[in-house]
């Protein structure tokens, strides 16, 4: 899980972005300074929760004296109408933090919910759903955590995690053989090497060269994926990428690949509808 310090840094940056020059002019002009309020965060649709802790941090950062009652939390499923949390404190602070809090909750819960759908679609196939680096700048750690909360797994967090040789690397290195040879010579013994292939011919060259721990089949047809699995025959972990959606993922998983990477988990997940209703405290 992400440390509280890391989460607080991300949430503070989001609050600063929303506060502009440092204040909520509407709330300051309309809501009395001494007014308290009670806010109920609830789900409007079915989904898997993520970003709840980050979202609630927006309230505690804005008003350190506010009280939080956590009813549901990250990783739990919700149904329409179920309460997630209750926030009690300064009405001004609650209104100021509301949009930032809901932005985290709706976006990250959307990722967890979409991931849950992909994971359920390939149950009992043995394949795993993983994310990619197609994340919103500054939110990668939270988005990748949301994928895990949805039942998926994480690909690389950054460029320094592992070697992933793609088509542009191959072109600049002068081909598959020199790319793999240089990777093997220059990588440390703890570093995994993955290479992307677009065709069965490229795959055969990779297998002849050797040295790849993971082979990514990029935009392969189902028939060619099956052929690739037979050719690799356990010599490397097989990742399928490209053309993956909820209609195709089960067929891809049934070819025998080990990993299915889905960029849509983070770059195209629809926000989960979560709302906040305020009542005035006497």
Active site residues: 99, 134, 166, 196, 218
Instruction: Tell me whether residue 1 is exposed, middle or buried, using C-beta atoms within 10 angstroms of its C-beta: 0 to 12, 13 to 18, 19 or more.
Output: exposed
**Which residue from 138, 100, 96 is spatially nearest to 6, judged by alpha carbons?**
138
Chain-centroid distance of CA 232 in Å reads: 29
User: What is the Cα–Cα distance from 168 to 165, expressed in whole angstroms?
Assistant: 8
In sequence order, the 6+-apart residues with CB closer than 8 A to the CB of 133 are: 140, 155, 156, 158
């Amino acid at each position: 899980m992400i440390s509280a310090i890391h989460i607080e840094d991300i949430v503070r940056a989001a609050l600063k972005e929303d506060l502009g020059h440092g204040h909520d002019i509407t709330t300051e002009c309309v809501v009395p300074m001494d007014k308290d309020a009670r806010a109920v965060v609830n789900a409007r649709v079915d989904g898997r929760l993520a970003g709840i802790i980050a979202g609630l941090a927006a309230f505690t950062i804005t008003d350190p004296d506010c009280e939080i009652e956590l009813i549901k939390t990250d990783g739990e499923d919700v149904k329409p109408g179920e309460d997630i949390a209750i926030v009690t404190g300064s009405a001004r602070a609650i209104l100021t933090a509301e949009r930032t809090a809901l932005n985290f909750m709706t976006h990250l819960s959307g990722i967890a919910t979409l991931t849950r759908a992909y994971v359920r679609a390939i149950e009992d196939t043995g394949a795993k759903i993983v994310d990619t680096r197609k994340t919103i700048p500054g939110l990668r750690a939270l988005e990748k955590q949301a994928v895990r909360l949805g039942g998926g797994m994480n690909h690389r967090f950054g460029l320094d995690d592992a070697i992933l040789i793609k088509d542009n690397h191959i072109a600049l290195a002068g081909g598959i053989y020199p790319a793999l040879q240089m990777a093997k010579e220059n990588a440390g013994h703890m570093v995994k090497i993955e290479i992307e292939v677009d065709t069965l011919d490229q795959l055969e060259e990779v297998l002849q060269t050797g040295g790849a721990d993971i082979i990514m089949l990029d935009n392969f047809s189902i028939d060619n994926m099956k052929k690739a699995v037979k050719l690799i025959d356990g010599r490397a972990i097989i990742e399928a990428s490209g053309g993956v959606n909820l209609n195709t993922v089960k067929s891809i998983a049934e070819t025998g690949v080990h990993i299915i990477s889905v960029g849509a988990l983070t770059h195209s997940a629809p926000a989960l509808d979560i709302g906040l209703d305020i009542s005035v405290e006497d």
